[in-house]
Chains A and B, each alone.
Chain A
């Protein structure tokens, strides 16, 4: 059982199936409650995590998510880093456009997830993979 005490607490989940996407959601929810995010912010970060975990699975061909508690000295927060070794994203601007999709979805995963978090960083290289880091701070 994860207790999430200590600022460095982190947990890594492999994402290789539908069930793992559910597992990421549940892990993020547990930590979001533990760091006392507001109900709306909990909902936003869990939703963003669900979108990004699915992207890791569907577009990245699987990978992992590392969920950790962070602290910037003034307030606590939650950070999730999604990493895959998939094909990478050739045109990042296009991929971040609402409604753009190559996978038959609604094209809201990446752009929508970015709107739901406080910090969003993406590092991608064609042929190497993609790493996305999102952070949500307590208000």
Chain B
């Protein structure tokens, strides 16, 4: 069985799907990513689907599951590079991919993840300050 490689770049895991995936390959990717998020402590996942000429309900559901699982493991997921014809077909199929962040390309996806992380860290600092103030 083929396997989709998961690359670590700084705080981000990058996956570029370059093959027409069998269902088992998609499920394997889901597991590999969850393992890799935990072993590397990365806070962002980018899934590049620019090479995919279709996304059917199975792949759509797998992407949604990956996003949910990463969220539970403290990582944000961005799906990037969807082709226009794929977007039109997905919507007509009835799949709106709720809960999935998207960006047009890898670069914008990385920017989105960086912003997301910054906001999250600011929130954490705010909370720390609040709890540090002694109640009068």
Chain A contact residues: helix, strand, loop or mixed: helix
Task: Determine if A18 and B57 form an interchain contact, defined as CB atoms under 8 angstroms apart.
Answer: no
Count, chain B residues at interface, CB 8 A:
23
Q: A115 CA to B89 CA in the complex, in Å?
A: 10
Evaluate contact between A47 and B88: CB separation under 8 angstroms: no
With A106-B95, A116-B89 known to touch, is A47 a contact of B56 (CB < 8 Å)? yes
Proximity string of chain A (62-103) to chain B, C-beta cutoff 8 Å, 1 when within and 0 when not: 000000000000000000000000000000000000100000
Interface size class of A (residues with CB under 8 A): 20 to 34
Q: Does B93 contact A (CB under 8 A)?
A: yes
Contacts of A18 in B (CB 8 A): 22-24
Is the beta-carbon distance between B22 and A19 smaller than 8 angstroms? yes
Nearest CB of chain A from residue B81's CB, rounded to whole Å: 15
User: Is B35 an interface residue, CB under 8 A from the partner?
Assistant: no
Q: Mark each residue of chain B from 48 to 71: 1 if its CB lies under 8 Å from any CB of chain A, else 0.
A: 000001111110110000000000
Contact with B54, one of A25, A111, A113, A115 (Cβ below 8 angstroms): A25
Per the 8 Å Cβ criterion, residues 91-139 of A in contact with B are 98, 105-106, 108-109, 111-113, 115-116
**With contacts A44-B88, A116-B93 known, what are 14 further pairs, Cβ within 8 A?**
A18-B24, A19-B22, A26-B20, A50-B56, A50-B58, A51-B56, A51-B93, A54-B56, A106-B60, A106-B61, A106-B95, A112-B57, A112-B92, A115-B93
Q: List 29 A-B contacts (CB under 8 A).
A: A18-B23, A19-B22, A25-B20, A25-B54, A26-B20, A29-B53, A40-B84, A40-B88, A43-B53, A43-B85, A43-B88, A43-B89, A46-B53, A46-B54, A47-B56, A47-B89, A50-B56, A105-B58, A105-B61, A106-B57, A106-B60, A106-B61, A108-B93, A108-B94, A108-B95, A112-B57, A112-B92, A112-B93, A112-B94
